[in-house]
Amino acid sequence: MSQSHRLNNEGLVNRDNKISFKFNGKKYFGYEGDTLASALLANGVHLVGRSFKYHRPRGFFGAGVDEPNAKLQIKLNGHSEPNVNATEIELVDGIEASSQNCWPSVQFDIGAINNFLNKFFPAGFYYKTFMWPKSFWYKIYEPFIRKAAGLGVASAKKDKERYEHKYEYCDLLVTGSGPAGLSTAYAAAKNGAKVILAEDKPRFGGSLLTDNVTIDNLSGKAWSYKIISELKEMPNVIVKNRSQVFGYYDHNMMVMFERTGDHLKDKPKYTPRQRLWYIRAKEVLLSTGSIERPIVFGNNDTPGIFLSAAAKEYIKVYGVLVGKKPLIFTNNDSAYETALEFKNQGIQPVILDTREEQSSELIDEAKNQNIEIKFSHAVMAANGYKKVKSALIGKLNKDKSGFETSETIECDCICVSGFWTPTVHLASQSGNRLEFNDQIDAFVPNISKQNEKSIGASKGTFTLKETLEEGFKIGFEVSKNITKNDNFVSTPNSNEPKKNIHDKFWCSPLPEGKDYKRFVDFQNDVAVSDIEIALREGYRSIEHVKRYTTLGMATDQGRTSNLNGLQLVANVEKKIVPQVGHTTFRPPFTPITIGTIVGREVDMEYMPTRKTPMHTWHEKNNAVFVDAGAWKRPRYYKQGNETLLEAAKREAKNVREHVGICDVTTLGKIDIKGPDAAEFLNRVYTNAWLKLPVGKARYGVMLREDGIVMDDGTTTRISENHYHMTTTTAQAANVLSHLEYYLQVVWPDLKVNVLSTTEQWAGAALAGPKSRSVLAKLFPNLDVSNESLPFMGYVEGDLFGVNARIFRISFSGELAYEINVESDCGLFMWKKMMDIGKDFNIQPYGTEALSTLRIEMGHVAGPELDGRTIPSDVSLEGLVSKKKDFIGKRSLQKEAFNKSDRQKIVGLVPTDKKSSIPEGSHLVVNKNAKLPNPKLGHVSSSCWSVENNNPFSLAIIKDGKNMIGKKLFAVSPLKNTAIEVEVISSHYVDHEGKRVRS
């Protein structure tokens, strides 16, 4: 198909580079520099989609972010993306676009029956219809609505594109490169400020590209080129096109979305598709311009109806005619510029002006060019289903409440202008409380809450001269405050047509006996009648009317519909717009991809992976890893076809019978130094610390101020004023913050320093009856006898040339040692241990066996210290000093913590000695009792006891100490189990603790 609506000489597209693309399966051609919309219009294609609710045919309406209708499904480079705005996406070779929300095709859409049944689809239809029966919602109504409504289809495939994040700081961020943005950025940059200028379109210049004006004796377009090229050369300026500042957050944190690769056919490998910028700007200057608003009339959603400025942009930027028989419908002067551009191309437009006959530069020019102007006229309704064929027009009566005449006029497009609405979204997001300006019938920014200012059309300044003056002045003043420089650039002279004031006419009355649909919001299919219904039904607050009718919602955020909607509510309610108020503007201003938000934080980069120095050894020896926070820990070392349980049993048994080795590098380690270190530990831990000798370790429990156990671990006195604390893997970071809090905030007089050394030390636990034999061979020069290195002893040694710290501490309940060496030597230590241990049947064990060993010993860990237990709940009351004060001690006196039937840790064994008890099971007396079955407690940890060869669990249960010997049921509705259990002591193995001291 030829480009039937392409002009030969006009526009900024590159006619030397022809680009082929597909729309709804059909092949078309456009040019480099086209958008998908301009290329389709060049081919005479107007019908692009079906409306949201009534499935009415819809065409292009705008030329940029203002577009409410043309949301397409785009396929390119193997990925598929829904809801892409056809007026914003640049044409690239091979792009395949298709219409959304229609079946079987956009030309013949079954759903359009909704349009003929529209009496049955009033505002709030879904709310009213799908209320009952309640049970129908999930299975019938919701799937139906989801299928019927909605826009495009999200891809279920992995997104292979690359997205990036970038952080930037500047003095001034200028959002938009029209005359306001260019002059502000230029004045500030010349005054030495660090400036970022962002433009959401591919081309800089904004309205200067389309308006017939001069600046500094250059055409607007030429002046914009000159300024941009100067700015690009300046080292203190970053100039970015294809970049939309979409969010204004606290303390001038601005977020910008840059389309870095979408317009490139062959993107270099590491060029991201899109980039998210976080920009912290000292000052934000909002030069976001304005968006033309429509006039509402009958069937005003028919394809072929455009905003008049969009029609002008298609001619001036893309060299495309949106029609060859245009009707211009306006309440102000600016649409005359569109009419004159048509005329320049040899097309004869007709202008309908709702104002009475008058004279201005533009009106006179149109008259001189023999353009037919009908004053006091308006469009009643458009005719045509898939494309405008003609318009029913008439002369308005005196008060514009009805028509005096009626005639049909042939046309193939209607270009409408209802004056201009400042784009105040970012200002509003910043917390600026907008005020209504009744000179322009729109909201404008008022008092700033953050460091921002609006300039030009975005604050309602609609003449070029004033805009440039504002820009140069404010750019200078704001930059002067920051840079203290005084380089003033004077405002260049400019020339523009002077315009008459606009008419407040915004909605054509219905001709008698007609009930044309008059749409206020195209994207959500909200017509005048829908808003009237909402008001009749009692909705008053504009926020409620918005939610009930969906006016102004969805991806275009009511950019073309908000003010007309407010005007309508005001009219019906007999109020004025400022009394109605406006709905809240929220980021993002335009839709952005999820990929951009996520950036590089996918796959491996989602979070850092912490690996111990022995990780490669674990990998080589078939370790199956488990995540412990960011750490990778071996869960078990798989041999042959072993299951997890089989491996855990084998590894744990080997510890009980011979010797095992476990990587304990992940334990939190904190170095504590200072003359008051002992006093500090004495306050942090519940037990006594003042008399711990050098060379000894002690087990300690720390509480929160509310008496709940926070963490446990051992701390060793390395020298007089030097301690080495260990924490659980999970609580390492919290404990450090906790210690820092007390040292810096509560007791700053204590002379103590704390420092995390978790990553500086590699740790290995040697556990089992033969561990001393291994240790003796590892440190042949050291006396490791029970007398010289007793339980809770500490000694330093030389491990084949490497300095090592040897702690005789045990988590498994066996004779055990933990040896630390500097991280770099961790793998060396591990290999030596494995090598020497060979003669003693050494085997590595993972976290599963580690748990098994501690559970059957009755040692508590995370599942018991779950943020709900006090020391006595987990049988740690022996560690609570009665003599000294410590963090959280006062809370332990609270009544609830001292009740005689307070919860307590116990052991559980299934009476059949076979059934494993799921962790999290609830303990009840009667498994068949009516729900809610009174719960006595819960199972916190479960294992297969290798010592007794049957399942064993720890549980925390009400009145636990008097429950020993009773039989209960452990029920797990999740696993559908109810297991009879006997309550026993939590110490299932080695009650007297002989082994650790052996």
Binding stretches for another protein (CB under 8 A): 249-253, 278, 280, 431, 449, 683, 705-706, 737, 740-741, 744-746, 748, 884-885, 890-891, 894
CA distances from 255 to 70, 174, 588, 735, 883 (A): 25, 13, 9, 35, 57
Q: Which of 556, 546, 560 is nearest to 589 (CA)?
A: 556
What is d(CA 492, CA 635) in angstroms, rounded to the nearest whole number? 73
What is d(CA 359, CA 460) in angstroms, rounded to the nearest whole number? 23
Phi first, then psi, for residue 992 (nearest 5°) are: -85, -5
What is d(CA 656, CA 807) in angstroms, rounded to the nearest whole number? 19
Q: Which residues of 132-153 are buried (b: 16+ CB within 10 A; e: fewer)?
A: eeeeeeeeebeeeeeeeeebbe
Six-digit token pair at 331? Answer: 């309440």
| Smallest distance, another protein to C-beta of residue 448, A | 11
Alpha carbon 909 to chain centroid, angstroms: 47
How many other C-beta atoms are found inside a 10 Å radius of the C-beta of residue 686?
25
| Smallest distance, another protein to C-beta of residue 983, A | 33
DSSP label of 140: I
The upper half-sphere exposure of residue 459, i.e. CA atoms within 13 Å in the direction of its Cβ, equals 21
Is the Cβ of residue 606 or residue 741 nearer to another protein in the bound state? Answer: 741
Phi first, then psi, for residue 655 (nearest 5°) are: -70, -45
| Smallest distance, another protein to C-beta of residue 896, A | 12
Is the Cβ of residue 490 or residue 737 nearer to another protein in the bound state? Answer: 737
Burial class (CB in 10 A: 0-12, 13-18, 19+), 976: exposed
| Smallest distance, another protein to C-beta of residue 180, A | 26
Is the Cβ of residue 250 or residue 399 nearer to another protein in the bound state? Answer: 250
Strand partners, 697: 716
Is the Cβ of residue 282 or residue 650 nearer to another protein in the bound state? Answer: 282
| Smallest distance, another protein to C-beta of residue 871, A | 17
Is the Cβ of residue 688 or residue 802 nearer to another protein in the bound state? Answer: 688
| Smallest distance, another protein to C-beta of residue 750, A | 12
Burial class (CB in 10 A: 0-12, 13-18, 19+), 949: exposed
| Smallest distance, another protein to C-beta of residue 884, A | 8
User: Across 340-483, where does the E strand assignment appear?
Assistant: 350-353, 372-375, 377-383, 390-395, 407-410, 413-417, 420-422, 433-437, 442-447, 452-454
| Smallest distance, another protein to C-beta of residue 683, A | 7
Is the Cβ of residue 45 or residue 743 nearer to another protein in the bound state? Answer: 743
Contact call for residues 287 and 458 (beta carbons, < 8 A): yes
Is the Cβ of residue 93 or residue 705 nearer to another protein in the bound state? Answer: 705
Q: What is the 3-state secondary structure (H, E, C) of 840-889?
A: HCEEECCHHHHHHHHHHHCCCCCCCCCCCCCHHHHCCHHHCCCCCCCCCC
| Smallest distance, another protein to C-beta of residue 250, A | 5
Is the Cβ of residue 504 or residue 894 nearer to another protein in the bound state? Answer: 894
SS3 state at 742: helix
| Smallest distance, another protein to C-beta of residue 169, A | 9
| Smallest distance, another protein to C-beta of residue 362, A | 45
Pairing of strands 722-727, 668-673: antiparallel
Q: Which of 556, 540, 586, 580 is nearest to 430 (CA)?
A: 586
| Smallest distance, another protein to C-beta of residue 609, A | 18
| Smallest distance, another protein to C-beta of residue 247, A | 10
Strand partners, 727: 668
Is the Cβ of residue 96 or residue 706 nearer to another protein in the bound state? Answer: 706
Is the Cβ of residue 838 or residue 890 nearer to another protein in the bound state? Answer: 890
| Smallest distance, another protein to C-beta of residue 707, A | 9
Contact call for residues 636 and 648 (beta carbons, < 8 A): yes
Q: Residues 87, 88, 94, 96: what is their CA dihedral angle, to the nearest 10 degrees? A: -60
Sign (positive or negative) of CA dihedral 941, 945, 948, 949 = positive
| Smallest distance, another protein to C-beta of residue 147, A | 39
SS3 state at 27: strand
Those residues whose C-beta lies under 8 Å from the C-beta of residue 291, and which sit 6 or more positions away, are: 62, 65, 66, 420, 421, 423, 559, 560
Alpha helices in 658-724 (DSSP H): 677-684
| Smallest distance, another protein to C-beta of residue 881, A | 12
Phi first, then psi, for residue 771 (nearest 5°) are: -65, -35
Is the Cβ of residue 576 or residue 755 nearer to another protein in the bound state? Answer: 755
Is the Cβ of residue 448 or residue 972 nearer to another protein in the bound state? Answer: 448
What is d(CA 494, CA 216) in angstroms, rounded to the nearest whole number? 6
